[in-house]
Amino acid sequence: KMAVCTVIGFPNGYNTTAVKVFETKDAIANGADEIDMVINIGDLKDKEYDKVEDEIRQLKEACGDHILKVIIETCLLTDEEKIKMCELVTRAGADFIKTSTGKESPAATPEAAYVMCQAIKEYFLETGRKVGFKPAGGINSVRDALVYYTIVKELLGEEWLTNELFRLDTSRMATFLLSDIVGSETKFF
């Protein structure tokens, strides 16, 4: 079965927590298997960390056993804010942290991935809790994908190289891989 995923609070995350909880419950009631929530970056920038963490926790509670991925829009954040978000996501019980909605540029970057994976590793070593990593946006080649694969492998280890803990957000990857194998542009979709 292919998982059904929807985004809550897209694209800016400015909906109230109550609206996001309602959207989450409604999406799951209508067949969603996974929820991608967009954080309220204004709250993060205002250092309203308890509010950000509480919102993630409430959405995870609304998700129940379903997967919750938290989109943090890394291009708008400092390295310190990226690290803080990894901490909040881990403590709040979310399953993944995701770099971007793909609406802002640059979306995923190796530099952001490195900072985030290092923070994920540190929180795992402190808490024993594994949180997945999902780079999203701007992954435009097999080489790009291999860069993120290598960062995850080197920082988090091979146990993270499963779809339960590492996913690439690129709808064109099958086409990229097939084209590289065939040696000419080949459309998968």
- Show which residues are catalytic: 36, 98, 134
The one-letter amino acid code at 133 reads F
Q: How far is CA 93 from CA 29, 43, 48, 54, in A?
A: 21, 19, 18, 10
How far apart, in whole angstroms, are the C-alpha atoms of residue 46 and residue 72? 15
Measured CA angle at 153 (ends 165, 40), to 5 deg: 45
Closest CA relative to residue 39, chosen from 25, 58, 26: 58
Q: How far is CA 98 from CA 153, 179, 187, in A?
A: 17, 27, 27
How far apart, in whole angstroms, are the C-alpha atoms of residue 66 and residue 36? 11
Helical axes 79-92 vs 110-127, angle rounded to 10°: 40
